[in-house]
Structure 1
C-alpha cells in the first residue's frame, strides 16, 4: 500500500509513475541518502551542490539552478523546508512520484515529489540499533525504539549521528577534510487512540549539522578531489519541525487534519573565486519559518465512485543575508580590499488552496480520475542592498519592495483499463505549477527588481503497471512528453546571478522498472530511463546568445541499473548493484559535459536472529564524475569507499 495520492491504495491501482523503496531494500543496498536511492529510479537524479544540499531532477525538470530553494520532499505528509532532509532516519518506505503532482500537492511539485514515510509506534516494544564505519573516518550510529504506553497509547524514538572527514583535500592549505561534517538527527512520535475510529499523533523532528565547505575546484584544473581555495569555508544548518495529526471518522467519511510548524536555519561560507588568491568570500545565512494546515475529507465507503476533498493554508517567512566580501587580491576583479556588498532580503508569503479528486469505475475494468487544485499565494518582498567598509556604509543603501498575487489552476485527468487482476494500463494529462519568485538573496539591485512569473508544465503520459507470476514479478513502464512554459532559470553573469523566465522547453522519454523473485531468497531489480530534452526557445540569455535547441542541463540521457539481493536461510546475505549513467551537460550553454560513468556497489554479511554484520563497498570502480558546477568551478561525487556495519534488533 502507498499514500502517493493522499489516501491508501495499491501501487498498481494508481495511474501514475511511482517508485517505492521499502526500508529493508534500502538497508540491503545501503540507500541511506537521497542520491543513493535515486540510482534505482528511472529519470531521477540528485545534483548535490554540497554535502547536504542539492537539486532533485525529475525527467529533466529541476536541473536549472534557482535563486530560492524549491522543497518537494514530504515527510509523513508534510513538506519540510530544509536543505539537509536528504538523510533517511527510521524509514518505513520512500515513494518517488515522477511527473507533475501539482493537482494534489500544489505549488512547486510540477516535476515530482518524494514522499518519506517513517516507522510508526507499535503495540509491542521494539529496539534496533546500528553502527557503521567506512572510509574517510566516516562513522554512523543510529537507534530506534518504542512500544505501548497503556492500552491506547504508544511511542517511538529514533536517533542518528553521522560524522566524516570527507574525501576532499586542499593542496594550498594542506588540509584533507574539506567535505567534513557532523550531523545529529532525532525524531519522536506519540500516538493516542481514543477509539477504533480515531487517532491523534504528535511528532517532532530535529536535525543539525556542522561541516566544511571546501569542495569546489576550477574546472580548468581537471576533475579530482583537490581544491586550491585560500579559505576552507563552512556549512551548517538546523531544523525543528513538530507536527500534529488527527484522523477520525465523521459518519462514513474519513477526516484528516495535519498541522505543522517548521523552523530552519542554513549558513554557508566559501571561497567564491575558487583559487589560492584572496579575492572573494561568499557568506550566506537564511531562515525559513513555515506554518501549514491541511484538512482532507475522503469517502470511506467502497463503491464505484470515490472522492477526496481538501483545503490547505500556509504562512511562510523567509529571510536571507548575503555578504560578498573582498580580500587582498580584490583589485584583480575590480573591487577594493575590505569592501563588502551585502543584500538583506525577506519574503513573506500567505497561501490558501482547495483541492479534490474523484474516481469513477465503470464497466468493471475502466476507471476515470479527475483532480483539480486551486492555489492562491500573496508574496511580499523587502530588500536592502548596501556597500560597507569596516562596518560603515560607503554608499547610499538601496531599498526595494514589491508584492504580487499568483493564482495557480492545476487540473489533471486520467483514464485506465484493468485487463486482468493486478494490471492497469493508463493515460494521463497533468498540469504542473511552480509559483512566481523573487531573487531576494542577491547583492545587486539589478538582479532583484524583476520577479519571475510562474512556471507551468503539461505532462502527457501512457503507462502500464502490473504484478505478475503469482505476485513474484512487479513491472511498470511508461512513455511521457512534457511541455514546459515560462521556465524559471538562474544564470550567472559576472558575479551576479540573474533570475529570468526562459520561455519554452520540452522533454520526452521512456521508463521501465522491474523487481522479480525467481526463487526463494533471491530478488532481482532493474530500471531503465531514457530522456531527451531541449530549449524550444531561449533567446534572452544575459550573454546575448540564443540557446534555442540546446540540451537541458543536469539531466542524464539515460540511466540503467541492475541489482540483486540474496538472503540464505542459514544467514548468509549478499547484494550487488551497478548503475550506468549516461552523459549530461551541467550548464545551459552546453559547455561543460559529464561523460557516461558506472557506479558499482556491493555488500555481504551474516544475519542472525537478533544481530547482523556486513562488509560493503560503494563506487568500487572509483569513478570520478561531476555532480554540480557553478560558473567555472565544479564538485565531484563521492569516491570509492569501503566499510563495515553492525546492527542489533530486539
Structure 2
C-alpha cells in the first residue's frame, strides 16, 4: 500500500517547479530571457533545469506575499519541509524529507544547514533573526557536503540577500495589519567610487500579539525585533573582488503563548485545577520570583526574550585564469536571554530561562574551474570553531518543590576537505563524483546541575569526535534538450552530541553517536511544453544510528534524552510545476510525500511509563517514524491590465498533513489548510505598489506543535486570520 502511494505520486502531474541551484554554497540568479532562469553556481552559468539537485527557490516577493518574516514560516513554501518551534520561544527544529532533530537546547547541530550569503549558522537558535532584503531562498533536499563547508544529512537552506547596485537605488516597504502588527524595511544602494558599491538595509517588526491571559486579560505575543545590514562590494583589480557583510539584529519580543490541552491540577493536585483552554487565544503565565531574582529580571517581565547578535564576513574571489579562488572568512555572535513559561499558568510548574553566549568563527577556501569544458571541478577546505556558554534554569517549586540550575560550556572544532567533479562523457551523459573528509571534536565542559541549591552533578567534562568519509556519485542523462533524467547516491553524516537537560546522573550526559544516512535519489526535469515546467524526484534513505528524542526514567518520571535508533528508513517523492496557461496568469504547485519506519529500535515508552510510574520499554521495530506524510502548497496570480495601472490578484495556499507524536495521541497535531490572498495595484511605469492582504483567510484553528512538560499538556497555536495593507516604493 505504501509503495502504491509512492508510485501514484510520481505518476501524477499536479505539482510544482523544482528549481535547482547545484550544490554550490553560492549561486546568483539572473534572467536570461523570459523563459530561462540562469544560475551562476561553481563560477559558471547554468540553467536551473540543467542541474540535478532537488531544490526549491522562493523569491523575496513570494516571502512578502506569504508574510514570511522568520525562518520558521518557510515550512509552507517548500515540499517535505517542516520547521517546528520549541515551546513558544520559536527556536527552529528543522526537518527535510523526514530527516530532523528535535531539541530545545542550543548545543547540538541541526540536520539542516542554514546559510546566509554563504556563511553557515550551525547553532539553530542563531537563525531566529528577521528575514529582510532577500533576493531568494534556496531549500536543498538531501545530504550536502561535497560542495559545502559543513556536512548535513537533511539538506540546506540558503538565504541570498540583495546585493549593491551599479546605479543609485532606494526603496521602502511597510505593512500594517490586524492586532496592530507593523512591519517595515528599507534600503539604499549604489556606487560610492569606481569599483566600490554599497547597500544598507534595515527592518523592524512590532506588535501583533493576539493572545490574552485567561485570568487578567493581559495581552501576550507582541513582536519587537529588528536588524540592519551593510554590504560593500570592492573590485580593486579586474580579476579580484570582495564582498564585505556587516550586520546586527535584536529581538525583545514576547513569546508565543501556549494553551492547555487538558486540565492542569496545579501543585501536584494540592493547588487549584485550571480547566483546559477551549479558546486558542487564551493562555497563562507567571514567572516565579525565584527565577526572576536569579537572573536579575524585573518582577513584571513576561515570557519573552532579550537577544542581540552581530556578525561580519569577507568573501573574496580571485580569477587565476582558468580557475577561481574563493575565500570566506566570518564571525557570528549571539547573546541570548529568554524566559519561558512552559506550564501556561501562574503556577511555578515549569518556568524556564536560557542564557546563551554563542560565537562561531569559520574560514572556507575553495578553488574551482572556470569555464564550461567537459571537466568541471571544485575543491575546498573548511575550518570552524564554535563556542557556547549556556545557563538553563528551571523552576519546579510548585510541582516538585525544587529549582534546577544547569551550567556548561561547549567548544566544537571541525576541519573538512571536500570536492566534487563533473565530467561530460558524451553530449548526453554527465558523470558526477564528490568526496568529503571531516574531523570534528566536540567538548562539553563543566556541565553541572543543582536542585534546590544542592549540587546534583558536579562540573563534569565529556567529549565526542568523528572522522567520517562521505561523498556523492551521480549520473545525468539528457535524451532531448528539454528533458533531464538523473540518479545519485550520497552518504551524509550528522555530528554526535550531548543531552543538556536537567539531570543528576553523569550517564545522562554521555554522548550519543553520529548518525549516518545513505541517500538514493532519481529525478527528472522537463520543460518540453511551452510555458510549463514539470519536475520530480523520488528518494530512499537508509539510516544508521538515527538521532531521535527519547527519554530516560528518573525520580520524577520520564526525562528527555537523545538516543540512537540503530536502523531506520525513509522514502518519498516530490513533484513541482510552474505553468503560465495565459500571458497574465501564473500558477505554481508543489506536492511532497514521505514515509518512514524504525527497522531496529528498543525504546522507553513515555506514555506507558507515566501511567505505570515506572520505566516501561517497547520494541519500535516496524513503527512509523513520527512526521507528516504529505505536504502541499501552491499559488496563483493574475495581472489585470488597466492601461496606466496594473492590478495583481494573488492567492497562495498550503496543507500540512497529520503529524503523529512519539509522545502519544494526546500530542498529535491534526492536519490543516492555510489560505492567503492579496490584491495590489501599481502604475505601469511608476515606483510604488499599494495592496491589501489577508493571511489564514479562512480563519483556520490549528496547532504548530504539541508537547508536555512536568504536569502540563500544552500546545502552541497558529495565528488566526489577519489582514491589512502594505506599500512598496522603489526609486
TM-score band (shorter)? over 0.9
Which whole-Å deviations, capped at 9, do the CAs of 1:468-501 have from their partners, x for residues lacking one? 334x222211111111221112335547321221
**CA shift at 1:596, angstroms?**
2.0
In 1, Cα distance between the equivalents of 2:311 and 2:482? 38
Contact kept in structure 1, 2:139 and 2:155, CA below 8 Å: yes
Contact 1:627 1:635 survives alignment (8 Å): yes
In structure 2, C-alpha distance between the alignment counterparts of 1:521 and 1:312, rounded to whole Å: 46
Provide the residue aligned with 2:628 in structure 1. Answer: 556
Q: Give how far 1:595 is off.
A: 2.3
| 1:233, distance to aligned residue in structure 2 (A) | 1.6
Answer whether contact 1:586 1:628 (CA < 8 A) is retained: no
User: What is the CA deviation profile of residues 514-548 of structure 1, one whole-angstrom value per residue up to 9, with x for unaligned ones?
Assistant: 11122222211101111212222221326422333
1:177-188 to structure 2, matched below 5 A, reads: 177=220, 179-188=221-230
User: Whole-Å Cα distance in 2 between the matches of residues 519 and 396 of structure 1?
Assistant: 69
Structure 1 gaps of 5+ residues are: none
What does 1:389-428 correspond to in 2, within 5 Å? Answer: 393-395=453-455, 398-428=458-488
CA distance in 2: counterparts of 1:186 and 1:447, whole angstroms: 44
Residues 297-332 of structure 1 show CA distances to partners (whole Å, capped at 9, x for unaligned) of 0011321111100000111111111112244xx2xx
C-alpha distance in structure 2 between counterparts of 1:616 and 1:300, whole Å: 45
* Range moving further from structure 2, 44-53 or 521-530: 44-53
Is 1:324 equivalent to 2:394 in the alignment?
yes
Q: Secondary structure of the equivalent of 1:265? A: strand
SS of alignment partner, residue 179 of structure 2: coil
Alignment match, 1:164: 207
TM-score using structure 1 length: 0.93
Q: Check if 1:636 corresponds to 2:717.
A: yes
Q: Do residues 255 (structure 1) and 304 (structure 2) align?
A: no
> How far is 1:167 from its partner?
2.2
Q: Identify which range, 596-605 or 29-38, moves more after superposition.
A: 29-38
Partner of 2:11: none
> How many pairs are equivalent?
637
1:531 counterpart (581, 594, 610): 594
Q: Is the 8 A contact 1:66 1:490 kept in 2?
A: no
- Equivalent residues of 1:243, 1:260 under 8 A apart: yes
Q: Distance in 2 between matches of 1:128 and 1:422?
A: 39
Query: What SS does the aligned partner of 1:568 have?
Result: strand
- Give the aligned partner of residue 61 of structure 2: 24
CA, structure 1 residues 428+88, in 2 after alignment: closer, same or farther (shift >3 Å)? Answer: same
**Aligned residues of 2:476 and 2:487 also touching (Cα < 8 A):** yes
Match of 2:63, SS state, is helix
SS of match in other structure, 2:76: helix
Query: Is the 8 Å Cα contact of residues 361 and 386 (structure 2) preserved in structure 1?
Result: yes
CA separation of 1:101 and 1:118: change in aligned 2, threshold 3 A: same
Distance 1:412 1:349 in 2: 25
In structure 2, runs of 5+ residues without a counterpart are 1-19, 26-41, 263-275, 288-301, 607-616
Note closer, same or farther for the CA distance 1:334–1:46 as it changes in structure 2 (3 Å cut): closer
Q: Does 1:334 align with 2:405?
A: no
**Helix, strand or coil: the match of 1:269?**
strand
Structure 1 residues 25 and 397, CA gap change in structure 2 (3 angstroms): closer
Q: Which moved more, 1:164-173 or 1:24-33?
A: 24-33
Deviations 1:241-274 (A, max 9, x none): 1000110112311110000000112222122333
Partner of 1:55: 93
Shift of 1:3: 5.8
Give the TM-score of the pair, scaled to structure 2. 0.83
8 Å contact 1:325–1:341 — kept in the other structure? Answer: yes
The correspondence for 1:75, drawn from 111, 116, 137, is 116
Match 1:623 to one of 700, 703, 712? 700
Encode CA deviations 1:3-42: one digit per residue, 9 max, x unaligned: 6423253322221211112223333444444344432311
- Is contact 2:477-2:484 (8 Å) kept? yes
The residue that corresponds to 2:133 in the other structure is 90
Larger CA deviation: 479-488 vs 589-598: 589-598
**Aligned partners of 2:350 and 2:396 also within 8 Å:** yes
Give the secondary-structure state (helix, strand or coil) at the position aligned to 1:26.
helix
Matched-pair contact (CA < 8 Å) for 1:103–1:430: no
Once the two structures are TM-superposed, the CA of residue 591 in structure 1 deviates from its matched residue by 4.7
Tell me the CA shift for residue 222 of structure 1. 5.3
Shift of the 97–109 alpha-carbon distance from structure 1 to 2, 3 Å rule, reads: same
CA contact (8 A) 1:32 1:87 kept: yes
1:144 has 2:187 as partner: yes
Kindly provide the CA deviation profile for residues 440-465 of structure 1, in whole angstroms up to 9, marking residues without a partner as x: 45453346431111011111111011
